[in-house]
Chains A and B, each alone.
Chain A
């Protein structure tokens, strides 16, 4: 806040009153326009020793997100960006923690906050302020905040109009300070006529300064029955040069003005100088930035000027609005442009602007303002352009049927659109159609129709096209990723990469996080588990920088990270990420990812041998899968786990009944064949189990990935074991280990219950002794590694070669045998061992293993390959 003396005089009593009030947690300054609320705040906050954060509520603010981001920006620095799925609660929690340092939060013009959501969260903020924090709110009329508990606790102070009123002595001081000579009776008359109203006194002082006959001015004023504000503003204006009057009247229709805009509306140069002079003269013009380029007029003042504009230059009003709209659109300020276009009465143009900028506005976090603008359109008039905007609102609110209906209207309108805008509209409709299809889990056919999104040029201005194109790439890549199929995977990767790069280039972190999260999710089809984990962690790190670590946008990366950790046997860390995913999915973001959440939770239980809990999760997943019409991949995966879990729990009848409902295509898939093998094993028919997995092992059955083949080998091994064929069982186990080696997959061994099978495998017969030991450790429930490695003494980084040797230490292989498996000489192994012991600060092999576990050097996800 500007440190300038805003009243010209020192109103020490009033400032002291605010000082007293502000020892309470919340102070409300509620008084009519022009009472001097803001001036009081400036005088109070301008003194040293206050840590204040000032938020000026925008006129008619309807976006809770814009409001809360302004609050955060006032309190602290940090990378922040608007998001289409704003989490008000989390943001308010962040504000609360930032305030804990003892900051006083000042919110000016709270009556302008026109968002019930924001007011509800503000009530929560005010009733939960940390002990050292304070809040001061100014408003023209009492705002509905539920603060009675604070009032009862004596933590609410109020300063009202009567407190703000100038006393007669203060009136005289004010006149003296302004260099106005007025008799004592004249000063008393002025005080009486204005009733100590701050704005009235300031206006009078402006007219009195340099007035040839101040006594006459006061006498005429007090003898006149006109309202104080109107009389004084008219008087003050008349005393300004005509071009200044003209500037004030013409620019009054702007919420904020700069020199360039004022030049444009007056048709004269030099407006910036005039605005600066007016502010210096204390004439109800206030600069909004330290550089003094933007100004706003006192609301009361501008409202009266607007009336004058309409009364004196009615035919100019729409022309001025149009000029302002053009300026705002050229400067990328879309909401203002739309408002002025509407005020000009150009509803068709306003609708077109809304449709063209709908994606950008959503990304800017202005969705609520956008929908409010749509609601303001006159009823009955048909504006097909708005269907697109309405569809976005419906989609955001989860009204999927209405969204579909609006999208159909928008699509029907595409052909009637002029060619230069047709493509843009097409892209927007296709992009939303993809998004809707995903929410419904109906992807079949949609991607083919939307394929054109990936190619293509965008006409019109670059920034507008870039937002739209980045959203289109994200939605297309996401839809492709969620088909979970090999054919679409390269496209998904390419489109999401392009989308992320474009988003970064145009400064849209939300889209970048969205693309990277989906990319992490999509990775597993083509990439290793380690690469998938790396991508997921990268996306999560970027999301966390913006405070979106538990937001829906990052959920795909969270769930995939949890899943890959569980597959590699890191159950505890996987469980933590699973919990984060649950938080991120508290709002509905579609059935498919919720299904994946339950499926992964089931896998975690199954991996820990808790089949009953696993059964419940798989049951929920199966139910969700039945609602997905076109995601056979996801549904089949779930069914397979449910079947196998039922069989493992001895519920063979239920499993067979479910199996009977599957069509041939699904029943013939490798996943379901494996599940059938589990059923047959449970029925005591190992030979039949072998027959069931035969087609998986010889490559005839379709499989989604190696994990299915690993599982098939293990089931075959278990069957051979039952049949007493030791050699075949060992071979099967060894083949499973070979396939699991590169990704170090532990889960298939845990889920299939292959411990005995692995324990029977002679160590000297396997080429995968290290992995074997890791798996057995995991199946035995080895003590979890220490969570906080920082509590341990620092350790020199092990080289990749040393890490490779380290993995063999838990096995009972000798140095010669390790050398054989790694194709190096025993001397090399000895050198590595010496270095490992030195770096880990241990003396022998068993303490090296213990230490390596504590440091998580033996955990699969952390290792370089």
Chain B
């Protein structure tokens, strides 16, 4: 079992609603695209960066719909 996966991987993170320019500055390392009423953030993240993004989503009161490793 690999507890400390050191290799970054591409993730797609789907969030409910369209993120405005201000909120998007909270995710400088990710690319954003609108998918219907949602926003999908994609980017290369290692494990701690991924959890950092998830914490940011929580702090900003955003609704997380899906996290997928590409």
User: Is there contact, CB below 8 Å, between B25 and A311?
Assistant: yes
Contact with A along B11-26 (1 / 0, CB 8 A): 0000111111111011
Q: Is B1 an interface residue (CB 8 A)?
A: no
Q: Is A230 an interface residue (CB 8 A)?
A: yes
Q: How far is the CB of B37 from chain A (nearest CB, A)?
A: 5
Q: Is B61 an interface residue (CB 8 A)?
A: yes
Determine the chain B residues whose CB is within 8 A of the CB of A230 once the complex forms. Answer: 19-20, 22-23, 60
User: Is there contact, CB below 8 Å, between B37 and A226?
Assistant: no
User: Which residue of A is nearest B17, CB measured?
Assistant: A227
Q: Is A21 an interface residue (CB 8 A)?
A: no
Q: Is A225 an interface residue (CB 8 A)?
A: yes
Which A residues from 120 to 166 make CB contacts under 8 A with B? Answer: 140-141
Q: How far is the CB of A37 from chain B (nearest CB, A)?
A: 13
User: Is there contact, CB below 8 Å, between B59 and A33?
Assistant: yes
User: Is there contact, CB below 8 Å, between A226 and B17?
Assistant: yes
Q: Is A303 an interface residue (CB 8 A)?
A: yes
Q: Is A688 an interface residue (CB 8 A)?
A: no
User: Is there contact, CB below 8 Å, between B61 and A33?
Assistant: yes
User: Which residue of A is nearest B38, CB measured?
Assistant: A225
Q: Is A234 an interface residue (CB 8 A)?
A: yes
Q: Is B62 an interface residue (CB 8 A)?
A: yes
Q: Return the contact of B60 from the options A224, A225, A226, A304 (Cβ within 8 A).
A: A304
Q: How far is the CA of A300 from the CA of B58 in the complex (A)?
A: 9
User: Which residue of A is nearest B20, CB measured?
Assistant: A230
Determine the chain A residues whose CB is within 8 A of the CB of B61 once the complex forms. Answer: 32-34, 199, 227-229, 300
Determine the chain A residues whose CB is within 8 A of the CB of B60 once the complex forms. Answer: 33, 229-230, 300, 303-304, 307
Interface size on A, residues (CB 8 A): 23
**Interface-central residue, B15, B19, B21, B22, by most chain A CB under 10 Å:** B22
Chain A interface main SS type:
helix
Determine the chain B residues whose CB is within 8 A of the CB of A226 once the complex forms. Answer: 17-20
Determine the chain A residues whose CB is within 8 A of the CB of B19 once the complex forms. Answer: 226-227, 230
User: Is there contact, CB below 8 Å, between B18 and A225?
Assistant: yes
Q: How far is the CA of A850 from the CA of B20 in the complex (A)?
A: 89
User: Is there contact, CB below 8 Å, between A307 and B16?
Assistant: no
Q: How far is the CB of A625 from chain B (nearest CB, A)?
A: 45
Q: Is A310 an interface residue (CB 8 A)?
A: yes
Q: Is A299 an interface residue (CB 8 A)?
A: yes
Q: Return the contact of B25 from the options A140, A141, A229, A307 (Cβ within 8 A).
A: A307
Contact with B along A757-770 (1 / 0, CB 8 A): 00000000000000
Determine the chain B residues whose CB is within 8 A of the CB of A299 once the complex forms. Answer: 59
Instruction: Say whether, besides A227-B62, A300-B61, A307 and B22 are in contact (CB < 8 Å).
Output: yes
Determine the chain B residues whose CB is within 8 A of the CB of A368 once the complex forms. Answer: none
Instruction: Say whether, besides A225-B17, A227-B16, A228-B17, A303 and B22 are in contact (CB < 8 Å).
Output: no
User: Is there contact, CB below 8 Å, between A303 and B18?
Assistant: no
Which A residues from 190 to 212 make CB contacts under 8 A with B? Answer: 199
User: Is there contact, CB below 8 Å, between B58 and A307?
Assistant: no
Q: Is A308 an interface residue (CB 8 A)?
A: yes
Q: How far is the CA of A140 from the CA of B61 in the complex (A)?
A: 10
Closest 6 pairs between A and B when the two form their complex, measured CB to CB: A227-B17, A225-B18, A33-B61, A229-B61, A300-B61, A230-B20
What are 10 inter-chain pairs, A to B, with CB distance below 8 A?
A: A32-B58, A33-B60, A227-B61, A229-B62, A299-B59, A304-B60, A307-B22, A307-B25, A308-B22, A310-B25
